[in-house]
Amino acid sequence: MSTLLRGRMDRSAYVALLRNLQAIYAALEPALRRHAAHPALAALHDPALARSESLRDDLAVVDSGARADDPVQPATLRYVERLRELDAERPELLLAHAYVRYLGDLSGGQLLSGIVARSLGLPSGRGVAFYDFGDADATAALAGTFRHGLATAVIDDEDAVVAEARLAFEWHRRLFEELAAAHGLATDAA
Ligand code: HEM
Protein backbone atom coordinates (compact mmCIF):
# COMPACT_ATOMS: atom_id res chain seq x y z
CA MET A 1 0.00 0.00 0.00
CA SER A 2 2.81 2.46 0.70
CA THR A 3 4.30 1.70 -2.74
CA LEU A 4 0.87 2.40 -4.26
CA LEU A 5 0.44 5.57 -2.21
CA ARG A 6 3.88 6.81 -3.29
CA GLY A 7 2.91 6.28 -6.93
CA ARG A 8 5.67 3.68 -7.38
CA MET A 9 3.60 0.58 -8.22
CA ASP A 10 4.11 -0.93 -11.66
CA ARG A 11 1.22 -2.00 -13.81
CA SER A 12 1.59 -5.78 -13.28
CA ALA A 13 1.54 -5.37 -9.50
CA TYR A 14 -1.50 -3.11 -9.74
CA VAL A 15 -3.27 -5.58 -12.03
CA ALA A 16 -2.56 -8.34 -9.49
CA LEU A 17 -4.11 -6.19 -6.74
CA LEU A 18 -7.24 -5.62 -8.85
CA ARG A 19 -7.55 -9.31 -9.70
CA ASN A 20 -7.40 -10.27 -6.03
CA LEU A 21 -9.92 -7.57 -5.11
CA GLN A 22 -12.13 -8.84 -7.95
CA ALA A 23 -12.19 -12.32 -6.35
CA ILE A 24 -13.11 -10.79 -2.97
CA TYR A 25 -15.95 -8.64 -4.38
CA ALA A 26 -17.19 -11.53 -6.53
CA ALA A 27 -17.85 -13.43 -3.27
CA LEU A 28 -18.93 -10.46 -1.11
CA GLU A 29 -21.40 -8.68 -3.38
CA PRO A 30 -23.70 -11.59 -4.35
CA ALA A 31 -23.76 -12.57 -0.64
CA LEU A 32 -24.77 -9.04 0.39
CA ARG A 33 -27.50 -9.03 -2.28
CA ARG A 34 -28.76 -12.44 -1.12
CA HIS A 35 -29.04 -11.15 2.45
CA ALA A 36 -30.14 -7.61 1.59
CA ALA A 37 -33.22 -7.97 3.82
CA HIS A 38 -31.21 -9.21 6.84
CA PRO A 39 -31.72 -6.78 9.79
CA ALA A 40 -27.95 -6.31 10.14
CA LEU A 41 -27.46 -5.59 6.44
CA ALA A 42 -30.66 -3.96 5.18
CA ALA A 43 -29.57 -0.39 6.00
CA LEU A 44 -26.28 -0.88 4.15
CA HIS A 45 -27.75 -2.25 0.95
CA ASP A 46 -27.04 0.29 -1.83
CA PRO A 47 -26.32 -0.75 -5.46
CA ALA A 48 -24.18 2.42 -5.81
CA LEU A 49 -21.61 0.76 -3.55
CA ALA A 50 -21.09 -2.28 -5.78
CA ARG A 51 -17.54 -2.52 -7.24
CA SER A 52 -17.49 -5.74 -9.26
CA GLU A 53 -18.40 -4.09 -12.56
CA SER A 54 -15.97 -1.19 -12.13
CA LEU A 55 -13.18 -3.66 -11.31
CA ARG A 56 -13.91 -5.59 -14.49
CA ASP A 57 -13.91 -2.33 -16.51
CA ASP A 58 -10.62 -1.17 -14.96
CA LEU A 59 -8.96 -4.52 -15.66
CA ALA A 60 -10.03 -4.20 -19.30
CA VAL A 61 -8.10 -0.90 -19.41
CA VAL A 62 -4.99 -1.66 -17.33
CA ASP A 63 -4.47 -5.41 -17.78
CA SER A 64 -2.10 -6.15 -20.68
CA GLY A 65 -2.49 -9.84 -19.85
CA ALA A 66 1.24 -9.96 -19.05
CA ARG A 67 0.88 -12.22 -16.01
CA ALA A 68 -2.57 -13.57 -16.87
CA ASP A 69 -1.72 -16.98 -15.40
CA ASP A 70 -0.88 -15.59 -11.97
CA PRO A 71 -3.23 -17.26 -9.49
CA VAL A 72 -4.99 -15.19 -6.83
CA GLN A 73 -3.07 -15.14 -3.56
CA PRO A 74 -3.60 -17.69 -0.75
CA ALA A 75 -4.86 -14.88 1.52
CA THR A 76 -7.55 -14.07 -1.05
CA LEU A 77 -8.60 -17.71 -1.37
CA ARG A 78 -8.94 -17.92 2.44
CA TYR A 79 -10.85 -14.64 2.50
CA VAL A 80 -13.27 -15.84 -0.21
CA GLU A 81 -13.77 -19.14 1.64
CA ARG A 82 -14.75 -17.18 4.76
CA LEU A 83 -17.19 -14.99 2.82
CA ARG A 84 -18.83 -18.15 1.51
CA GLU A 85 -19.07 -19.58 5.04
CA LEU A 86 -20.74 -16.39 6.28
CA ASP A 87 -23.08 -16.29 3.29
CA ALA A 88 -24.25 -19.80 4.20
CA GLU A 89 -24.16 -19.66 8.02
CA ARG A 90 -23.64 -16.18 9.58
CA PRO A 91 -24.78 -13.41 7.17
CA GLU A 92 -24.77 -10.89 10.03
CA LEU A 93 -20.95 -10.96 9.99
CA LEU A 94 -20.88 -9.90 6.33
CA LEU A 95 -21.46 -6.45 7.82
CA ALA A 96 -17.81 -6.38 8.93
CA HIS A 97 -16.55 -7.10 5.43
CA ALA A 98 -18.85 -4.52 3.85
CA TYR A 99 -17.45 -2.00 6.36
CA VAL A 100 -13.78 -2.77 5.73
CA ARG A 101 -14.15 -2.70 1.97
CA TYR A 102 -16.73 -0.03 1.22
CA LEU A 103 -15.85 2.53 3.87
CA GLY A 104 -12.20 2.09 2.92
CA ASP A 105 -13.02 2.64 -0.76
CA LEU A 106 -15.14 5.67 0.15
CA SER A 107 -12.31 7.07 2.32
CA GLY A 108 -8.68 6.41 1.44
CA GLY A 109 -9.70 5.06 -1.93
CA GLN A 110 -10.49 8.61 -2.99
CA LEU A 111 -6.84 9.57 -2.47
CA LEU A 112 -5.63 6.67 -4.56
CA SER A 113 -7.56 7.39 -7.77
CA GLY A 114 -5.38 10.30 -8.91
CA ILE A 115 -2.16 8.59 -7.79
CA VAL A 116 -3.01 5.44 -9.77
CA ALA A 117 -3.96 7.35 -12.93
CA ARG A 118 -0.72 9.38 -12.85
CA SER A 119 1.66 6.58 -11.86
CA LEU A 120 0.33 4.14 -14.48
CA GLY A 121 -0.03 6.87 -17.11
CA LEU A 122 -3.69 5.99 -17.67
CA PRO A 123 -5.73 7.82 -20.31
CA SER A 124 -7.72 10.58 -18.61
CA GLY A 125 -10.69 9.30 -16.65
CA ARG A 126 -10.07 5.68 -17.61
CA GLY A 127 -8.96 2.68 -15.56
CA VAL A 128 -9.95 4.17 -12.16
CA ALA A 129 -13.68 3.40 -12.10
CA PHE A 130 -13.05 1.32 -8.96
CA TYR A 131 -12.61 4.55 -6.97
CA ASP A 132 -15.49 6.36 -8.66
CA PHE A 133 -18.64 6.77 -6.55
CA GLY A 134 -19.68 9.99 -8.30
CA ASP A 135 -18.59 13.52 -7.40
CA ALA A 136 -17.28 14.50 -3.97
CA ASP A 137 -20.77 15.26 -2.64
CA ALA A 138 -22.18 11.94 -3.86
CA THR A 139 -19.20 10.10 -2.37
CA ALA A 140 -19.55 11.89 0.98
CA ALA A 141 -23.30 11.20 0.98
CA LEU A 142 -22.69 7.48 0.36
CA ALA A 143 -20.15 7.38 3.19
CA GLY A 144 -22.63 9.18 5.44
CA THR A 145 -25.45 6.76 4.57
CA PHE A 146 -23.11 3.85 5.15
CA ARG A 147 -22.09 5.11 8.59
CA HIS A 148 -25.77 5.63 9.40
CA GLY A 149 -26.43 2.07 8.25
CA LEU A 150 -23.70 0.86 10.61
CA ALA A 151 -25.18 2.85 13.49
CA THR A 152 -28.72 1.53 12.92
CA ALA A 153 -27.85 -2.07 11.95
CA VAL A 154 -29.69 -4.62 14.12
CA ILE A 155 -26.84 -6.79 15.43
CA ASP A 156 -27.09 -9.73 17.84
CA ASP A 157 -23.38 -10.04 18.58
CA GLU A 158 -21.43 -6.77 18.21
CA ASP A 159 -18.19 -8.29 19.54
CA ALA A 160 -18.33 -10.94 16.79
CA VAL A 161 -18.77 -8.22 14.14
CA VAL A 162 -15.78 -6.27 15.50
CA ALA A 163 -13.68 -9.45 15.65
CA GLU A 164 -14.67 -10.20 12.04
CA ALA A 165 -13.61 -6.71 10.91
CA ARG A 166 -10.21 -7.22 12.57
CA LEU A 167 -9.92 -10.52 10.70
CA ALA A 168 -10.73 -8.74 7.43
CA PHE A 169 -7.97 -6.18 8.07
CA GLU A 170 -5.57 -9.01 8.94
CA TRP A 171 -6.34 -10.81 5.64
CA HIS A 172 -5.77 -7.61 3.72
CA ARG A 173 -2.43 -7.23 5.47
CA ARG A 174 -1.48 -10.80 4.48
CA LEU A 175 -2.70 -10.24 0.91
CA PHE A 176 -0.54 -7.12 0.58
CA GLU A 177 2.47 -8.97 1.99
CA GLU A 178 1.94 -11.82 -0.49
CA LEU A 179 1.49 -9.42 -3.41
CA ALA A 180 4.60 -7.47 -2.38
CA ALA A 181 6.60 -10.71 -2.30
CA ALA A 182 5.13 -11.91 -5.63
CA HIS A 183 6.10 -8.61 -7.28
CA GLY A 184 9.52 -8.15 -5.73
CA LEU A 185 8.44 -5.18 -3.61
CA ALA A 186 10.14 -4.84 -0.22
CA THR A 187 7.66 -5.80 2.52
CA ASP A 188 7.45 -3.41 5.46
CA ALA A 189 8.36 -6.33 7.71
CA ALA A 190 11.70 -6.73 5.83
C1 HEM B 1 -2.88 3.74 0.78
C2 HEM B 1 -3.82 3.27 1.37
C3 HEM B 1 -4.85 3.92 2.24
C4 HEM B 1 -5.03 5.24 2.57
C5 HEM B 1 -4.24 6.44 2.11
C6 HEM B 1 -6.17 5.29 3.47
C7 HEM B 1 -6.67 6.46 4.04
C8 HEM B 1 -7.82 6.52 4.79
C9 HEM B 1 -8.42 7.74 5.28
C10 HEM B 1 -7.87 9.14 5.06
C11 HEM B 1 -9.54 7.40 5.96
C12 HEM B 1 -10.55 8.34 6.62
C13 HEM B 1 -10.30 8.47 8.06
C14 HEM B 1 -11.38 9.31 8.73
O15 HEM B 1 -12.44 9.51 8.17
O16 HEM B 1 -11.12 9.71 9.82
C17 HEM B 1 -9.64 5.97 5.91
C18 HEM B 1 -10.67 5.28 6.50
C19 HEM B 1 -10.82 3.92 6.35
N20 HEM B 1 -9.99 3.07 5.67
FE21 HEM B 1 -8.27 3.52 4.78
N22 HEM B 1 -6.66 4.06 3.66
C23 HEM B 1 -5.88 3.19 2.92
C24 HEM B 1 -6.01 1.84 2.81
C25 HEM B 1 -7.04 1.12 3.38
C26 HEM B 1 -7.21 -0.30 3.23
C27 HEM B 1 -6.28 -1.19 2.43
C28 HEM B 1 -8.35 -0.63 3.91
C29 HEM B 1 -9.02 -1.96 4.08
C30 HEM B 1 -8.73 -3.01 3.46
C31 HEM B 1 -8.88 0.59 4.49
C32 HEM B 1 -10.03 0.65 5.21
C33 HEM B 1 -10.53 1.81 5.78
C34 HEM B 1 -11.77 1.86 6.55
C35 HEM B 1 -12.67 0.70 6.88
C36 HEM B 1 -11.95 3.18 6.91
C37 HEM B 1 -13.11 3.76 7.74
C38 HEM B 1 -12.67 3.80 9.18
C39 HEM B 1 -13.83 4.24 10.09
O40 HEM B 1 -14.18 5.40 10.10
O41 HEM B 1 -14.37 3.42 10.80
N42 HEM B 1 -8.06 1.64 4.16
N43 HEM B 1 -8.60 5.46 5.19
Domain assignment present for 37: yes
Q: What is the pLDDT of residues 50-90, one digit of tens each?
A: 999 999 999 999 987 666 677 799 999 999 999 999 999 99
Question: 172 CB less than 6 Å from ligand 1?
Answer: yes
**Is position 95 within any domain?**
yes
Cα–Cα–Cα angle for 11, 131, 104, nearest 5°?
105
112 C-alpha vs ligand 1 centroid, how far in Å? 11
pLDDT value at position 188? 54
Domain that holds residue 9: 2-182
Q: How many domains does the chain have?
A: 1
Task: Note the pLDDT of residue 35.
Answer: 97
Which string of b and e fits 41-71 if b means at least 16 CB within 10 Å?
bebbeeeebebbebbebbbeebbeeeeeeee
Residue 188 lies in a domain: no
* 73 CB-near residues (< 8 Å, 6+ apart): 20, 175, 178, 179, 182
Instruction: State the pLDDT at residue 187.
Output: 60
- CB of 97 within 6 A of ligand 1: the answer is no
pLDDT digits 0-9 by tens, 129-184: 999 999 999 999 999 999 999 999 999 999 999 999 999 999 999 999 999 999 98
In a domain, residue 190? The reply is: no
**HSE-CB of 111 using CA atoms within 13 angstroms:** 9
Pocket test for ligand 1, best of 9, 20, 97, 107 (most atoms within 8 A of CB): 107
**Cβ atoms of residues 100 and 165 within 8 Å:** yes
Rounded Cα distance between 37 and 3, Å, is 39
Summarize pLDDT for 83-120 with one digit per residue, the tens. Answer: 999 999 999 999 999 999 999 999 988 889 999 999 99
Give the model's pLDDT for residue 67: 67
Is position 54 within any domain? Answer: yes
Instruction: State if pTM tops 0.85.
Output: yes
CATH code for the domain of 113: 1.20.910.10
Q: Please state the atom number of ligand 1 nearest to the C-alpha of residue 4.
A: 1
Residue 66: predicted pLDDT: 65
